[in-house]
Amino acid sequence: MTEFDEAALESHREAGEVLTTVMGETREMIEPGVTHLEVAEYAEDRVRELGDGLAFPVNVSVDAEASHATPAREDETEFDDEMVCLDIGVHVDGYIADAAVTVDLSETPELVEAAEEALAAAVEAAGPGVPVGEIGAEIEDVIEAYDYTPVYNLSGHGVQRFDAHTGPNVPNRGVDRSVELEPGQAVAIEPFATDGRGKVGEGSKEEIFELVEDRSVRNRSARQALEQIREFDGLPFAARALDTSRAEMALRRLTQQGIVKGYPVLTEEPGRLVSQAEHTILVREDGIEVTTRGLFE
Ligand code: CO
């Protein structure tokens, strides 16, 4: 892979602009008493209006939750005085922008600053030929200077056409100096900062799924669900996005058969807080381009 062709470049840029607009609108909605579902559905509707579609369901993570949380159908959970991470993915013609902001309702603004400043330092350090571990070291240094800990077992990642999660991995610490960023890569850089131990584990909730192996199924409700799942072009989808009466059972069946895979919510220990800041960058021959710039202004 060398550079982006013109069409890919235009689609990446458009995805980034749509995402920046939607994020700007959506983050303003987050306040106590508003439900997670209202926020997620608003953002998802706007993404579909302005772009081609979602690259993954809108993630709404609170407090110890770091990733893969999205409301269930008819979820009535409201925001409280919490740390709220909003992570949105947009695609235009399959080309993906992935970005996140944190809205602090918990009166812990330094934790948000730590993630945002780490992201700024990471973007500043990024470029063609730069080892990913060097970017990770920038992230780690900034977050530790705030006396917080990066979440070590989460990392930034490449995005490819219709694939929201590919290489290269961009660690949130100064390891892995062998892999370098290369021109033609689109990369989501996402520092997470926490007052916890810096390690997330799998929680019990699972609301995000992805088609991993398309095979025929005999069961009627599973077959109906699979027909809808094919519409997501292999991208992750929310259980609530399935419009069938027995979606939950169908998903369980499809998961057991290895056709669909679930993404459990990833969380720090209870009582801890996690913040996140994320941009998507394009690595070019002569530097980088941030497709989601303007997100933190
Ligand atoms: Co993201």
220 alpha carbon – ligand 1 mean position (Å): 34
pLDDT of residue 245: 76
165 alpha carbon – ligand 1 mean position (Å): 10
Residue range(s) of every CATH 1.10.10.10 domain in the chain: 205-264
Token pair 């926490």: residue: 194
The stretches of the chain forming alpha helices (DSSP H) are: 6-27, 36-50, 109-125, 132-145, 220-229, 247-256
pLDDT of residue 1: 56
- The third-level CATH classification (topology) of the domain covering 205-264 is Arc Repressor Mutant, subunit A (1.10.10)
> What is the set of active-site residues?
87, 98, 157, 165, 190, 278
> What's the whole-model pTM score?
0.96
Residue range(s) of every CATH 3.90.230.10 domain in the chain: 6-200+268-290
Copy the structure tokens of residue 217.
Answer: 């199924």
CATH class (in words) of the domain with range 6-200+268-290: alpha beta
Q: What digits encode the pLDDT tens for the residues 197-240?
A: 999 999 989 999 999 999 999 999 999 999 999 999 999 999 99
Q: What digits encode the pLDDT tens for the residues 84-129?
A: 999 999 999 999 999 999 999 999 999 999 999 999 999 999 999 9
Average pLDDT over residues 53-75: 97
187 alpha carbon – ligand 1 mean position (Å): 10
Q: Which residues of 211-231 are buried (b: 16+ CB within 10 A; e: fewer)?
A: beeeeebeeebbebbbeebee
Compute the distance between CA of residue 61 and CA of residue 70 in angstroms, rounded to an integer: 7
